[in-house]
C-alpha cells in the first residue's frame, strides 16, 4: 500500500448515521485512503453515553464522552449529534482548532449557518454538509459548483421522507392521515413525536439550505413560509386524484423577477401542493426524496434518491470527508460560501402561483355567478370549474342542478382551478368567499406547483 500521510478524524455522535460512518471508515480504510490520497484515522467517537446500544459493533476503546479533547488536534471533525447545542459549540470549537468540519446538521445550518460559515472563513477552514440537504442525494455540489455558471430559477423538492411516505400511502390506499401516521410510526418511518416532519420544520430547514446555495443568498429560517400536512385528509387526496393531481409536501425555492425597477427577490416556502401526475415529482414514491431544479440555461434537472436512512446518509458524509481530506493534501483555502447576491426574501403574500379552491356552496340559482364575481373582484382568474351535488335536494336528479341553476335547497361542491394569482389576493378573496352568504364551507385551498 502507498505510504500516505495520516489525517486524524474525530466523530461526534454515534446514532443511526454516526455508527454507519464509523463502520465504513474502519472497513473501507484502504480504499478511502486511495481515493483521498491520505490515510483517514478514526481518532475517536464522542458520545453522551458510553454504554448506549449502537446499530453497529464498534471497538469500545474508540468511544469517549470528552468531545472537546477529541477535537483538539483533529484534521477533520464529523458532527452527527444533531440539534443546536452542544453541536454549535463543538463545531465552532473544531473550526477554531483548525479542523475542517463535515456535518449533516440541517437544524444547525438553517439557524446558525452564517455564524458557522463566517467562523470557517476567518481561519480558512471548510464546512461540508452534503448530507444536510437531501440525505444521500448529491445536491450540494451540483448547486454550488455544476450550476455556478447558470441561474437557478426554481427548485421544487420532496425533501422529507416521512411526509412523502405518509402522503404516498394516503394516495395509494385512500387511507386517512392519522391511520397512516400510526402505521409509519410502527414501521419506524416516523418518530414518536412526528412534529418536525409532519409540520414541515425539517423540510423548511432543508429549503433554507437549498435556497441559500441556489441563489447565493443567506436565507434565514424565519424567511421560509411553512405549512405541514396535518390538515391533508383522504377527501383532499381523492379530489386531487380526480383532477389529475397528487399531493406532495414541496419545498419551493423561487427567483422572482424585479418589479417596478426594484431588484430581483426570492420566495422560499414549504407546503402541501398539488402536482400534476405527469410531472417527474409525482412518481417519487415511499420515503424517497427528489429535488427538481429549473435553471435558465440547463433547463429541467432532477436528482432522486434516498432522503434519509443511516447508511445512505453515511455515504454523503463520507463523500464530504474524502473531499476535506483531498483539500488538506492539495493545500489551498476553500472557496467558502458564495452569498454575494443577497437577494431579499419576500413574504408568502407576494408569491404568485395557481390554486385549487374547494367550496361547499348552497345549491341554488345565482350561486356560481356570485362566487365568480367575488373571484373576479379579487383579481383571481378562473381556469376550471367543476360542480357536483353533494346533498340530495328535491330536484337533485334534475340535470340543471349540476350547473348551479337548481332551485333546490341542497349543497353542491365547487372545485375551482385558478390561473396564476398573487397569494395575498387569493387569501383575501377566499375570506370574502367564506363571509359571503352563498359559501357554506371552504373545504380546502391548495397551491398547484410545477405547471
**Looking at beta carbons only, is 137 or 207 nearer to a second copy?**
137
Q: How far is the CB of 387 from a second copy (least distance, A)?
A: 34
Exposure string over 206-216, b if 16+ CB within 10 A, otherwise e: bbbbbbbbbbb
Residue 213's φ and ψ, nearest 5 degrees, are -70, -45
Ramachandran quadrant class, 366 (left: phi over 0; alpha: psi -120 to 50; beta: rest)? left
19 scored as a contact of a second copy (CB under 8 A): no
257 scored as a contact of a second copy (CB under 8 A): no
Q: How far is the CB of 90 from a second copy (least distance, A)?
A: 22
Bond preceding residue 86 cis, omega within 30 of 0: yes
Single out the segment in contact with a second copy by CB under 8 A; choices: 296-304, 371-379, 383-391, 431-439: 296-304
Contact 334, 126 (CB under 8 A): yes
Catalytic annotation present for 206: yes
- CB atoms near residue 193 (< 10 Å): 9
Strands (E), 22-147: 39-46, 63-64, 76-79, 100-103, 127-128
**Looking at beta carbons only, is 187 or 400 nearer to a second copy?**
187
Q: Which of 149, 261, 399, 437 binds a second copy (CB under 8 A)?
A: 149
14 scored as a contact of a second copy (CB under 8 A): no
32 scored as a contact of a second copy (CB under 8 A): yes
**Looking at beta carbons only, is 8 or 303 nearer to a second copy?**
303
157 scored as a contact of a second copy (CB under 8 A): no
Q: How far is the CB of 49 from a second copy (least distance, A)?
A: 26
Q: Please provide the size of the chain in residues.
A: 451
28 scored as a contact of a second copy (CB under 8 A): yes
Residues 213-242 that bind a second copy (CB under 8 A): 216
115 scored as a contact of a second copy (CB under 8 A): no
Q: What is the DSSP letter of 144?
A: I
315 scored as a contact of a second copy (CB under 8 A): yes
Ramachandran quadrant class, 331 (left: phi over 0; alpha: psi -120 to 50; beta: rest)? left
**Looking at beta carbons only, is 312 or 411 nearer to a second copy?**
312
Residue 296's φ and ψ, nearest 5 degrees, are -55, -50
Closest CA to 46 of 90, 102, 100: 90
The three three-digit cell numbers of residue 291, written as one number: 429535488
Selected catalytic residue, list 106, 206, 248, 420: 206
**Looking at beta carbons only, is 150 or 391 nearer to a second copy?**
150
Q: Applying CB under 8 A, which residues contact a second copy?
A: 2, 20, 24, 28, 31-32, 34-37, 130, 136-138, 140-142, 145-151, 216, 280, 283, 295-306, 309, 311-312, 314-323, 326-327, 329-335, 338, 340-341
Q: Catalytic residue numbers? A: 206
Amino acid at each position: 500500500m502507498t505510504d500516505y500521510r495520516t489525517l486524524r478524524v474525530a466523530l461526534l455522535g454515534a446514532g443511526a448515521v454516526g455508527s454507519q460512518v464509523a463502520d465504513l471508515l474502519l472497513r473501507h480504510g484502504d480504499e478511502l485512503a486511495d481515493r483521498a490520497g491520505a490515510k483517514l484515522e478514526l481518532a475517536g467517537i464522542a458520545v453522551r453515553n458510553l454504554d448506549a446500544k449502537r446499530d453497529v459493533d464498534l471497538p469500545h476503546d474508540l468511544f469517549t464522552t470528552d468531545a472537546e479533547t477529541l477535537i483538539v488536534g483533529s484534521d477533520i471533525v464529523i458532527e452527527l449529534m444533531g440539534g443546536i447545542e452542544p453541536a454549535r459549540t463543538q463545531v465552532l470549537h473544531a473550526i477554531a482548532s483548525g479542523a475542517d468540519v463535515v456535518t449533516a446538521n440541517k437544524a444547525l445550518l438553517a439557524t446558525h449557518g452564517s455564524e458557522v460559515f463566517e467562523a470557517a472563513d476567518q481561519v480558512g477552514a471548510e464546512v461540508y454538509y452534503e448530507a444536510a440537504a437531501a440525505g444521500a442525494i448529491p445536491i450540494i455540489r451540483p448547486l454550488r459548483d455544476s450550476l455556478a455558471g447558470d441561474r437557478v430559477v426554481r427548485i421544487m423538492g420532496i425533501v422529507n421522507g416521512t411526509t412523502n411516505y405518509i402522503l404516498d400511502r394516503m394516495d395509494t390506499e385512500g387511507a386517512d392521515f392519522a391511520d397512516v401516521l400510526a402505521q409509519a410510526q410502527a414501521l419506524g418511518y416516523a418518530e414518536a413525536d412526528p412534529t418536525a416532519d409532519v409540520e414541515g420544520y425539517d423540510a423548511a430547514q432543508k429549503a433554507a439550505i437549498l435556497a441559500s446555495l441556489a441563489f447565493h443568498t443567506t436565507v434565514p429560517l424565519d424567511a421560509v413560509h411553512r405549512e405541514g400536512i396535518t390538515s391533508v385528509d383522504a377527501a383532499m387526496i381523492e379530489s386531487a386524484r380526480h383532477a389529475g393531481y397528487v399531493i406532495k409536501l414541496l419545498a419551493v425555492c423561487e427567483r422572482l423577477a424585479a418589479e417596478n425597477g426594484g431588484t430581483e427577490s426570492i420566495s422560499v416556502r414549504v407546503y402541501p401542493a398539488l402536482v400534476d401526475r405527469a410531472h417527474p415529482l409525482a412518481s417519487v414514491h415511499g420515503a424517497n426524496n427528489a429535488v427538481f431544479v429549473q435553471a435558465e440555461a440547463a433547463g429541467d434537472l432532477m436528482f432522486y434518491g434516498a432522503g434519509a436512512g443511516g447508511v445512505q446518509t453515511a455515504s454523503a458524509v463520507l463523500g464530504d470527508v474524502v473531499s476535506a481530506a483531498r483539500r488538506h493534501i492539495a493545500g489551498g483555502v476553500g472557496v467558502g460560501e458564495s452569498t454575494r447576491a443577497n437577494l431579499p426574501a419576500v413574504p408568502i403574500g407576494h408569491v404568485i402561483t395557481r390554486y385549487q379552491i374547494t367550496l361547499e356552496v348552497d345549491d341554488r340559482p345565482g350561486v356560481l355567478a356570485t362566487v365568480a364575481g367575488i373571484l373576479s373582484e379579487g383579481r383571481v382568474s378562473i381556469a376550471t370549474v367543476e360542480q357536483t351535488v353533494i346533498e340530495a335536494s328535491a330536484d337533485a336528479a334534475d340535470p340543471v342542478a349540476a350547473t348551479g341553476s337548481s332551485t333546490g335547497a341542497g349543497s353542491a361542491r365547487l372545485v375551482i382551478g385558478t390561473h396564476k394569482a398573487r397569494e395575498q389576493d387569493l387569501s383575501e378573496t377566499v375570506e370574502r368567499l367564506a363571509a359571503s352568504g352563498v359559501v357554506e364551507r371552504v373545504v380546502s385551498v391548495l397551491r398547484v406547483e410545477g405547471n
